[in-house]
Structure 1
Amino acid sequence: MADMMGTGRGARTRRARTVAAVLAATGLFGLFTAGCTGQGTPRVPADDGRGELHTSPPSASEPGRKPDRPSVLAVKIDNVRAARPQTGIDSADIVYAEQVEGGLSRLMAVFATKLPKAVGPVRSARESDLELLRQFDKPTLAFSGAQGKLMPLINGAPLDAQTPKKTSDAYFRGTDKVSPHNLYLRPKRLMPTTPGAAALTTGFRYGPAPAGGTKDTSETVRYPAARFTFTWSATRERWLVSMDGKPDTTTDGKRLAPATVVVQYVQVRKSAFHDFLGNNTPYTVTIGSGSAKVLRDGRAYDVNWKRAKATEGTEFTTKDGEPVNFAKGQVWVVFAKASS
């Protein structure tokens, strides 16, 4: 809306009517009005590019939702080489990895059972985040900002959007890296109490490993300009994470080591947004069904995944339709492009 011209009451009225008409035509009016507070959309500094308004975000409300249920803290994490090592993501219950502009990767760390003192580096949100986060009951999303035309969708979504512009005392700049790779979050400034495991409405199941599978000690997932490698450590009973060929550790020297890794094959299509170089922002589709590979206990399991709608978690089943249990501990979900 910032690029619309005009001043005074008449211009403001014309702008409001124009926005309402666009939102009504695209089915967004209910989503936008549900998220507005009467003060308009905050003008958050963007840290990447410009794009067009997406016309099919998730709806603002669904029957059967429980808004009073404790919900998670999701933090967008910078994952380029200059941002590593990262802070606090070893405390996350779930780490999602997705492809972004230029074939690079970005993480979303989801916290429910433990809140570290600091998390980061924090970076900007993407359109796909809104679909992914609908599985939680009004989650708190911590991010550095987003381009101007995406912000109305974020502010209208059923989540608590928290940026440095909105809650400055929750963020700080570190001295270990150069900007913009040095923005960190103090999670307890946003969420004084730990939500607890009940907030993890992902559909994930935990328990004994399924039958079958094949022995597997290393798996690599490649994006056009990034790669993840997970190597099984029998002594630690965890998958050790490497990124772009180097062991991945936190700033305090801890090796990132999830108990379960899911390589989920999904549709990755173009979105309506671009970065400042003109690169299109990929949209990772997490609703639907497809195949996946679950890594746990030094074995790999070829499974199916299904997420019927945005407000539901993802089910993972064997080829025979039996639910697949994950190992207890941190889970990494790496979204990989499905073959056509």
Structure 2
Amino acid sequence: MTVRRLRVLEIGGVAAILLAVVSGCAAESPTPGATGDGSGYASGYRPPAPTELAPLRGTTIPAGSLTRPSLAAKVDNHEEARPQLGLERTDLVFEELVEGGITRYVAIWHSELPDEVGPVRSIRPMDPDIITPFGGIVAYSGGQEQFVEMMMATPVFNAVFDYDDTGLFYRDDVHDSPHDVIVKAAELVGRHLDLPSPGQQFAYSSVAASATPALDGAPTSSVQLRFSDARWPGWSWDSAGQQWLRSQEGQPDLDDAGTQLRATNVLTLRVGIDWSYGEVPKTVMVGGGEAWVSTGGKTSHGTWSKDAAGGVIRVVDDNGVTMRLAPGNTWIELVPDDQGSVEITP
């Protein structure tokens, strides 16, 4: 060990000893070029590969491994559209009220990308406010001209069944029309890899045990929601699988493989409804209201806010502190203030 220009202020000899020990430890640290094996580090040491968060799940991924754009799709939730394709692989799903008291989904894929998703249906007036923050691509079957124009006015790339002549959409032979339009999701995204990946939408904890509900939430066995007399989805906590299991109208909600749909996080937002479009309800997304975050068998109460169509949804607890979700997929339930209800069961 060599110590150059060692200057010691002696206080009973103690300082000199401490400096010598520190110098000795430094000499044993990995030293670039020490082994000559090309690694640049002693004893074959390699630093860990850099990582980052998947922006729509909060899971840890290798840095630079997820550069494709996200895909949002308007997915049908009519009884004749079930089981849907690809919902079990989403990062985020927004459930919204549409005419007739039924619901429809804005489903978003980024971390995983199925070959096909659907059935896809038409756009609605609240969808630009939901989808714009993600950028990327939106797929849908069409819609009223005014709603299509609203969606087309956003910076999101629109892939529309009614206008497609490239074979990206087709009608399957499993569902009856109009609940049968399928989009080739992987091919669609593959054609637009020049589009940027989405930004992070919610705050995430590093592990489930440090998510906001896990730290200070109330124990919860189920979350029962009512959008209308026609739609009342629910979520039950599965302690064995450590996930929420989804039901609709009292029955398990299944994917196309017969497995019950599940979520790591259930984010419930109370929302206003704008009836200025006649029988078509518009969920009011720019504004705010009451919120619940359900994670790890617990639920925390707070409020949500969104300041612009392109702004992200911010969720804070009753003390105004940003709530953190657990790493994993999330369903966002947009429950109407005027006709809906939320029941959190211990």
Query: Smaller-chain TM-score range?
Result: 0.7 to 0.9
Contact 1:230–1:241 (CA under 8 A) maintained in structure 2: yes
TM-superposed CA distance for 1:339, in Å, is 5.5
Give the Cα–Cα distance (whole angstroms) in 2 for the partners of residues 244 and 195 of structure 1: 42
Give the Cα–Cα distance (whole angstroms) in 2 for the partners of residues 256 and 301 of structure 1: 22
Q: Could you report, residue by residue, the CA deviation over 1:49-74 in whole angstroms, capped at 9, with x for unpaired residues?
A: xxxxxxxxxxxxxxxxxxxx853210
Count of residues in Structure 1 that have an aligned counterpart in Structure 2: 265
Give the Cα–Cα distance (whole angstroms) in 1 for the partners of residues 311 and 153 of structure 2: 19
Q: Which residue, out of 256, 262, 268, partners 1:263?
A: 268
Change (3 A) 1:252 1:194: farther
Correspondence 1:281 to 2:284: no
Instruction: State the AA in 1 paired with 2:118.
Output: G
Q: Could you report, residue by residue, the CA deviation over 1:171-209 in whole angstroms, capped at 9, with x for unpaired residues?
A: 121111111111111112211178999514423434422
**Structure 1 gaps, min length 5:** 1-68, 275-279
Give the Cα–Cα distance (whole angstroms) in 1 for the partners of residues 95 and 197 of structure 2: 23
Give the Cα–Cα distance (whole angstroms) in 1 for the partners of residues 153 and 195 of structure 2: 26
Within 5 Å, which residues of 2 pair with 1:1-340?
71-137=69-135, 139-168=136-165, 169-192=167-190, 199-207=198-206, 208-210=210-212, 211-224=215-228, 225-272=230-277, 274=278, 280-338=279-337
Give the Cα–Cα distance (whole angstroms) in 1 for the partners of residues 258 and 195 of structure 2: 26
Change (3 A) 1:201 1:209: closer
Give the Cα–Cα distance (whole angstroms) in 1 for the partners of residues 241 and 302 of structure 2: 25
Contact 1:112–1:197 (CA under 8 A) maintained in structure 2: no
Give the Cα–Cα distance (whole angstroms) in 1 for the partners of residues 222 and 195 of structure 2: 32
Give the Cα–Cα distance (whole angstroms) in 2 for the partners of residues 116 and 294 of structure 1: 27
Change (3 A) 1:320 1:198: farther
- Name the Cα RMSD after superposition: 2.1
TM-score, normalised via structure 1 length: 0.73
TM-superposed CA distance for 1:136, in Å, is 2.1
Change (3 A) 1:322 1:110: same
Between Structure 1 and Structure 2, whose CA radius of gyration is higher?
2
Percent of counterpart pairs with the same letter?
A: 27
Change (3 A) 1:97 1:195: farther
Give the Cα–Cα distance (whole angstroms) in 1 for the partners of residues 193 and 239 of structure 2: 31
**Structure 2 gaps, min length 5:** 1-66, 340-346
